[in-house]
Amino acid sequence: IPKLLHATKAGHTTLWVVFAIFTIGLIGLWPMALRVEKRARFFHGVSAGVLTIAMVSYLAMATGLGTTFVPIHNHAADASVYKYFREVYFARYIDWLFTTPLLLLSLAVLAGLSPADTVLVICADVFMIVTGLLGGLVPARWATGERSRWTWFTVSCIGFLVIWYVLITGGLRASKHRPSKTRGLFVLLSIMTFILWAAYPVVFALTEGANMVSVNTEVIAYAVLDVSAKVGFTYMLLLVHTHGEDDTWTL
């Protein structure tokens, strides 16, 4: 009988808490949007999209949806027998598929990135998420599964590098035409976002990748990252921008 590695009370409670945080975060956008005139609500709209998707995704996971079991860690001696099945919350990849392009869109618009570069960044991001999902779903079998998993991981990391190469080089060039405060905010938010995003492949490697930490720890780690990368990011963008220069509000 295979052993099931899955989330328990701590993990499920975390999912509900994060659902609540995204809900409150979403409601909090309302008064912020009302403080500025209609044509200046682009970033509010994008942020509302991000937080709505995250809220639904966490509600789904908290109610037991969007999860599956993937066979892991077999040995040559008994390659035909799956000893462990690890719970994989694939719902988060569906969330990321839509929210990460929206977050990148905010950064791209803030910098005044060209349409071509913006499309490239978003395509690289979709590529990163889809290949990462495949990596997470690869069933382990000696010499094939374990290796394919890291192949997909590496392929996904290439998407990650393309995103940041284009965003930083193109963004720095484009943002020269922005007011200095806007440029400063773009650089600051990009650095913060890059550091946060870089933690995702690390968590993946330790969890779905090498199965070194529990599913509960995985849920908590992604929860902290998701709240920071979504609520932290959008509030920082909206609050700093409201009190900064007005020009970028109108695109």
Report the sign of the C-alpha dihedral through residues 165, 166, 170, 171, in that order. negative
Comparing CB distances to ligand RET, the nearer of 18 and 113 is: 18
Q: Which residues bind ligand RET (CB under 6 A)?
A: 96, 99-100, 128-129, 132, 135, 153, 156-157, 160, 197, 200-201, 204, 226, 229-230
Q: Is 210 left (phi over 0), alpha (psi -120 to 50) or beta?
A: alpha
Cα dist from 56 to 52, 97, 101, 220, whole Å: 6, 14, 17, 18
Closest residue to ligand RET: CB criterion = 132
In the complex, minimum distance from the CB of residue 230 to ligand RET, in angstroms, rounded to a whole number? 4
In the complex, minimum distance from the CB of residue 77 to ligand RET, in angstroms, rounded to a whole number? 29
Comparing CB distances to ligand RET, the nearer of 84 and 127 is: 127
Comparing CB distances to ligand RET, the nearer of 40 and 107 is: 107
In the complex, minimum distance from the CB of residue 146 to ligand RET, in angstroms, rounded to a whole number? 15
Cα dist from 71 to 13, 40, 67, 68, 210, whole Å: 25, 49, 13, 10, 12
Comparing CB distances to ligand RET, the nearer of 40 and 129 is: 129
Comparing CB distances to ligand RET, the nearer of 36 and 157 is: 157
**Surface-to-core class of residue 169, CB atoms within 10 Å of its CB (0-12 exposed, 13-18 middle, 19+ buried):** exposed
Distance CA 139, CA 126 (A): 22
In the complex, minimum distance from the CB of residue 158 to ligand RET, in angstroms, rounded to a whole number? 9
